[in-house]
Amino acid sequence: MDATPPALILASTSRYRRELLQRLRLPFEVQSPHVDETPLAHEPPAALALRLARAKAAAVADQRADAVVIGSDQVADLDGVPIGKPGTHERATAQLRSMSGRSVVFQTAVCVARRSTGFERTLLAAVTVRFRTLTDAEIERYLVAEAPYDCAGSAKSEALGIALLDAIESDDPTALVGLPLIRTCALLREAGLTLP
């Protein structure tokens, strides 16, 4: 039996996911999954996150059958409506205004796949974030300071965005940043990797 562990691949271009996965101190590659992230009509946020995590892992696993591939996706859920990455200052302002004084559930899915063994499993981590009641001036100061236009929900809890919040409730704290490491570790062990 070959003692060489399989290649580990993160099917993502997200720098946040890459930084989180580095915490595990496992060698890994990064490969773009080239997946269309457009929601389906009436698709609930949790279902969207699960579908996209699977699609990302599958897109790369289909090319590298013996590798262990991680796919992940996060969708902010405000009253059952998916909220994506704002992309612009104006959209981020609108998102933060809509979330002011409310709770948002960040649905973060992770899928680990290894085609050569037939392993594929997907888990979901839901993080409830309660936003403070925000003034327009607070929103503007935050957006100018941090420009979180590539983050679902327009706030980075791991940085200055924490000041916008009243509470975070989660059993997998890194899920809010974009990769639920507790669930990822469990799936990697199931897929046959040894973690430190």
Residues carrying an active site annotation: 73
For the segment 9-16, the average pLDDT, to the nearest whole number, is 94
pLDDT band at residue 5 using 50, 70 and 90 as cut-offs: confident
For the segment 123-150, the average pLDDT, to the nearest whole number, is 96
Looking from the CA of 104 toward its CB, the CA atoms found within 13 Å total: 29
Residue 1: CB atoms within 10 A of its CB come to: 3
Measured N-to-C along each axis, helices 15-22 and 181-190 cross at an angle, to the nearest 10 degrees, of 70
pTM of the model: 0.91
The DSSP line for 133-195 is P--HHHHHHHHHHH--TTSTTS--TTTGGGGGEEEEE-SSGGGGTT--HHHHHHHHHHTTPPP
**What are the residues facing 107 on neighbouring strands?**
75, 126
Q: Under CATH, what is the fold of the domain 8-190?
A: Maf protein (3.90.950)
So what's the pLDDT on residue 2? 52
For the segment 21-28, the average pLDDT, to the nearest whole number, is 96
So what's the pLDDT on residue 152? 85
Q: Please provide the average confidence, as pLDDT, over all residues in the chain.
A: 95
So what's the pLDDT on residue 4? 84
pLDDT exceeds cutoff 50 at 1: no
